[in-house]
Amino acid sequence: MNTLPDVELCFPQLLNTSCRKPLQQHAENIFVNVLLSCISLFTVALNLLVIISISHFRQLHTPTNLLILSLAVSDLLVGLLLMPIRILQKGGCWVLGSFMCGVFNYLSFIITSASVGNMVLISADRYVAICDPLRYQTKVTNWRIKVCVCLCWFCSVLYNGVILKDHLKHPDRYSSCYGECVLLIEFLTGVFDVMLTFIGPITIIIVLYMRVFVVAVSQARAMRSHIASVTLRGSVPVTAKKSERKAATALGVVVVMFVICFSPNYFPSFVGEDMSTNAQLSIFALWLLYSNSLLNPLIYALFYPWFRRAVKVIFTCQVLHSKSFDLHLQ
């Protein structure tokens, strides 16, 4: 008499309604989980260093750095909330209940949308700094940047609340068994969401940075050919423009990596392909998107001397001194 092979269930006590766990090799699963856990840990640690650096040192309270701070907050939330839960879900079962399924997907959409919004604000900031440097300080102030950042996060919370309102009310409506967290969005809603949260912002970012690149190249040629007369009064704007171009280069790399990491996750939805049929490809695209949160602080460490100096001050405990917030880092 043949017997059915033992099937590992998410919840063995619910034999009729529990989801089945996917078959996984134990050694390979442990290695992947350790690797992903290390990525999550480094993402949290590095972005926390960015947040502490910009928040603590008064010299770093500039409009551009406030935008970097907002981006670092979203990246920190990715490493602190999204990555660990995805690692837990990688076992094939959702063990946090239907309510947390809705909350997790809502938070995931909010953080992703806020990251996209921060990238658009960073591109706009660099555009004004390079293309209209004489009026940059009057146009772009700390107060205006704070308002823009708050609006970015508020709109992300409101917009995704509207998009996911049905999922938040009934988070298990598409689940076929107990221990599953499924999110399905209607086709037209999904197309609108991709256009508004990815295609539109990416188009704006590319157009702004193409303009920044053209202006930066023309400025560099003008400086090399000594067309502009070099006077004491004129040397200050030239130095300022040079520093702004360096910042534009660093943030340009951030934007390029953002596009590379986010595109695989959004492109299938845009062309109408169903990612659920290829679980491995879907997981890879999702973790590539998440890895962008780890790459951003590494880019800052590579391009920004102030970040490396701030980290040195933090690790040597000089940050605990009463007057450390006035230290010169740039």
Does the pLDDT of residue 186 top 50, yes or no? yes
Q: Enter the tokens of residue 168.
A: 């938040």
pLDDT for the residue numbered 274: 53
* CB neighbour burial string for 87-111, b if at least 16 within 10 angstroms, e if fewer: bebbebbbeeebeebbebbbbbbbb
Predicted TM-score (pTM) of the model is 0.86
pLDDT for the residue numbered 236: 44
Look at the block and give the residue holding tokens 């595109």: 263
Does the pLDDT of residue 185 top 90, yes or no? no
- The CATH code of domain 26-326 reads 1.20.1070.10
pLDDT for the residue numbered 267: 66
Does the pLDDT of residue 7 top 60, yes or no? yes
Does the pLDDT of residue 232 top 60, yes or no? no
Segment 86-101, tens digit of pLDDT: 998 876 788 888 899 9
Share of the chain above pLDDT 90, in %: 35
Does the pLDDT of residue 280 top 80, yes or no? no
Of residues 234 and 160, which shows the higher confidence score? 160
Tell me which DSSP letter residue 199 carries. I
pLDDT for the residue numbered 47: 96
Share of the chain above pLDDT 70, in %: 82
Q: How much is the mean pLDDT over the chain? A: 82
Beta strands in 159-303, from DSSP E residues, in sequence order:
none
Query: Most confidently modeled of 24-38, 237-251, 256-270, 288-302?
Result: 288-302
The lowest-confidence range among 150-154, 162-166, 203-207, 277-281 is 277-281
Q: Which long-range contacts (CB under 8 A, 24 or more apart) does 259-264 make?
A: 259/202, 259/205, 261/288, 261/289, 261/291, 261/292, 261/295, 262/116, 262/198, 262/289, 262/292, 264/288, 264/289
Segment 139-161, tens digit of pLDDT: 999 999 999 999 999 999 999 99
* CB count in 10 Å sphere of residue 26: 7
Are 115 and 82 in contact by the 8 Å Cβ rule? The answer is: no
Does the pLDDT of residue 255 top 70, yes or no? yes
Rounded Cα distance between 269 and 194, Å, is 7
Average pLDDT of the segment spanning 69-88: 94
Name, in order, each residue with C-beta under 8 angstroms of 121's C-beta and a sequence gap of 6 or more: 67, 70, 145, 148, 149, 152
pLDDT for the residue numbered 1: 39
pLDDT for the residue numbered 3: 38
Average pLDDT of the segment spanning 249-254: 76
* CB count in 10 Å sphere of residue 184: 10
pLDDT for the residue numbered 271: 53
N-to-C CA span, the chain: 78
Rounded Cα distance between 70 and 115, Å, is 8
